[in-house]
Chain A
Amino acid sequence: GENVEQHPSTLSVQEGDSAVIKCTYSDSASNYFPWYKQELGKGPQLIIDIRSNVGEKKDQRIAVTLNKTAKHFSLHITETQPEDSAVYFCAASRASGTYKYIFGTGTRLKVLA
């Protein structure tokens, strides 16, 4: 079945450094890719998403890149801050047919002050 692989499972960075989380999806028909951030005691919240007709999208310190040929997409966080510490999930979905999100296993990001 379809799956999404996410790496690394844990990531520690110094405050101010950049963090990169990578995902690979198997369903070539996927064309919508959201990223969710889950803080302790809360549910996941959407932080950025990208559709397959673009290769990159930025929102302040967060960016997502997509390589459809390789079926890779990545989350980039620059100038990390302690409040960026959380678990991040990637997901892949089709725009037509099934609406299901296939989630990755999550990355626990720790930003060290």
Chain B
Amino acid sequence: ETGVTQTPRHLVMGMTNKKSLKCEQHLGHNAMYWYKQSAKKPLELMFVYNFKEQTENNSVPSRFSPECPNSSHLFLHLHTLQPEDSALYLCASSLTLAGDMSNEQFFGPGTRLTVL
């Protein structure tokens, strides 16, 4: 186990539904990330939070809305999604945002999202 948990592990939703993904880290880290993983594509960084403050929004559509109430929890609120949003959504955390080994990112197992 990496110390990063994600719920639910699987989610099927219609295009008009509203759902939320949850991520929790037990590592005492200060930075948290959402990634989208689609088949045969590189991991796409979506959002970054550092000490609860959003520091990166990688041109993500507004139908994805992140929330970071504290350094240990990260949510991704979903509404009016499209079928092409179906993917594995990974949460990660790191001690700092530095671009070196203190930035080692620990990933959760992901939420497999299917949008019908």
Contacts and interface: CB of A to CB of B under 8 A. Distances in A.
B83 to A, nearest CB: 22
Majority SS at the chain B contact face: loop
Interface in A21-38: 31-32, 34, 36
Contacts of A100: 45, 56, 99
Interface string A75-105: 0000000000000010001111111111111
A61 interface: no
Interface stretch (B13-21, B66-74, B106-114): B106-114
Interface residues of A, number: 30
Contacts of A36: 107
Interface string B76-116: 00000000000000101000011111011111111000000
A91 B108 CA distance: 18
A100 B42 CA distance: 13
A101 B105 contact: yes
Best-buried of A4, A36, A93, A99 by chain B (most CB within 10 Å): A99
A51 B41 CA distance: 25
Contacts of A104: 42
Nearest to A3: B42
A43 B2 contact: yes
Interface string A40-63: 011111100101000000000000
